[in-house]
């Protein structure tokens, strides 16, 4: 895609930076909000050599209508769902538009390393809320990936990518038919070897399976299935050939059930919500988390999923207050500076460093009384001996 800041797309979206391939940030001039534009390349059949009122125009219109219909049916105002604004065709590109607050995608965060199971559980709790809202509205997301999950600056984890996923599926069906080899080939090109996009089944159960894959990726930094290519990936998913979920530590049992090939055996979004709440209620403090996580470790320099604080944790802390508590565990005060809080000595730890400990007394207090009595008797004996000596 060519263009740059200031370019107007769709008659209302003003680009704010130099666009990436098939992706651009913009401002909606009608509402003033920041949006993310994602594009799909339409084949020449749809855009050239056709009468504007002919087949190509009708196909493009169908794609836009399908995307718009899902956007209209999606819940509005949900705090964990990024709102889909709409879709339009510009030249040979089909664009989808989605609100985009400031933040980073999970894919961007994972570029610096995985997170611990409890951080992943905090993110999952937000995502299950988004899935519950979609499934309750009779919709399937179908595009729950590290690229479509946004971690906002305030810590909220939000699910996006709904309209982009609908556009891909609609184009694959438009070009390849409702099923069969041709649709598979088109979809393989559009989606690529991304494990979350290739469940054995669709619907809400497919979304829950995708969340299981994403949780495994969050904690381990890799997919549980091989992603060398679409054929290899699809075969592994079909055969159940994957890494065991024990690598996910305390989150492993949930991930294992989410990745069951039988959709009936997978927990629903509501069941996940309850299980995640119980897991987070018993989460250890940050200084103990690495030990509890088993094989999963948290390096001090590794990025954390900045999930916002939640209410209801013991001691008044939120389950998501990970950054402040992690800093305290590393010997930083609540304001992020080195040194302890009230009652803590410099050097970290509630008891201070080894050099700050008070030296124990050389004579235990319990022995002082007997020692004094013994000393008195010794002096009396010496006095008697001296008298006898001089008198004799």
Which regions of the chain does DSSP assign to beta strands (E)?
8-9, 13-15, 23-28, 34-41, 84-90, 93-99, 103-105, 149-152, 157-159
pTM of the entire predicted model: 0.73
| The predicted structure's pLDDT at residue 185 | 95
Element (H, E) at 118: helix 117-136
| The predicted structure's pLDDT at residue 390 | 60
Per the prediction, the chain carries an average pLDDT of 80
Enter the DSSP assignment of 74: S
pLDDT beneath 70, residues of the chain: 1-3, 45-56, 285-373, 376-377, 383-392
Contacting residues for 297 by C-beta, under 8 A, at least 6 apart: 116, 290
CATH topology of domain 102-323: Transferase(Phosphotransferase); domain 1 (1.10.510)
| The predicted structure's pLDDT at residue 169 | 96
| The predicted structure's pLDDT at residue 155 | 84
Domain ranges of the chain: 102-323
| The predicted structure's pLDDT at residue 59 | 84
Rounded Cα distance between 13 and 8, Å, is 5
| The predicted structure's pLDDT at residue 1 | 57
First to last CA, the chain: 121
Enter the DSSP assignment of 37: E
Structure tokens given for 280: 């987070």
Q: What are the phi and psi torsion angles at 373 (to 5°)?
A: -60, -45
């Amino acid at each position: 895609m060519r263009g740059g800041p200031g370019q107007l797309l769709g008659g209302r979206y003003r680009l704010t930076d130099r666009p990436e391939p098939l992706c651009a940030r913009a401002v909606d001039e009608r509402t003033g909000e920041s949006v993310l534009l994602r594009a799909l390349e339409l084949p020449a059949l749809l855009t050239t050599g056709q009468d504007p009122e002919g087949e190509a125009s009708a196909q493009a219109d169908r794609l836009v209508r399908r995307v718009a219909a899902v956007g209209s049916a999606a819940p509005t105002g949900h705090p964990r769902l990024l709102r889909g604004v709409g879709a339009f065709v510009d030249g040979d590109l089909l664009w989808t538009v989605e609100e985009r607050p400031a933040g980073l995608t999970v894919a961007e965060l994972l570029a610096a390393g995985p997170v611990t199971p409890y951080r992943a559980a905090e993110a999952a709790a937000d995502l299950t809320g988004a899935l519950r809202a979609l499934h309750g509205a009779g919709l399937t997301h179908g595009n729950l990936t590290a690229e479509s999950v946004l971690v906002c600056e305030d810590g909220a984890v939000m699910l996006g990518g709904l309209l982009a996923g609908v556009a891909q599926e609609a184009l694959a069906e438009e070009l390849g038919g409702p099923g069969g080899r041709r649709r598979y080939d088109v979809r393989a090109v559009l989606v690529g070897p991304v494990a979350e996009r290739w469940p054995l089944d669709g619907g809400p159960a497919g979304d829950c399976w995708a969340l299981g894959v994403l949780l495994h990726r969050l904690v381990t930094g890799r997919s549980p299935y091989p992603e060398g290519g679409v054929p290899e990936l699809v075969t592994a998913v079909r055969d159940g050939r994957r890494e065991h979920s024990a690598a996910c530590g305390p989150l492993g049992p949930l991930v294992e059930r989410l990745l069951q090939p039988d959709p009936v055996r997978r927990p629903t979004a509501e069941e996940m919500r309850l299980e995640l709440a119980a897991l987070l209620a018993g989460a250890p403090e940050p200084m103990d988390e690495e030990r509890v996580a088993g094989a999963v470790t948290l390096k001090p320099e590794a990025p954390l999923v900045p999930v916002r604080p939640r209410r209801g944790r013991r001691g008044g802390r939120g389950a998501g207050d990970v950054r402040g508590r992690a800093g305290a565990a590393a010997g930083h005060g609540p304001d992020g500076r080195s040194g302890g809080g009230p009652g803590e000595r410099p050097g970290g730890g509630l008891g201070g460093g080894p050099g700050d400990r008070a030296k124990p007394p050389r004579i235990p207090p319990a022995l002082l009384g007997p020692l004094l009595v013994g000393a008195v008797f010794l002096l009396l004996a010496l006095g008697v001996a001296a008298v006898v000596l001089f008198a004799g």
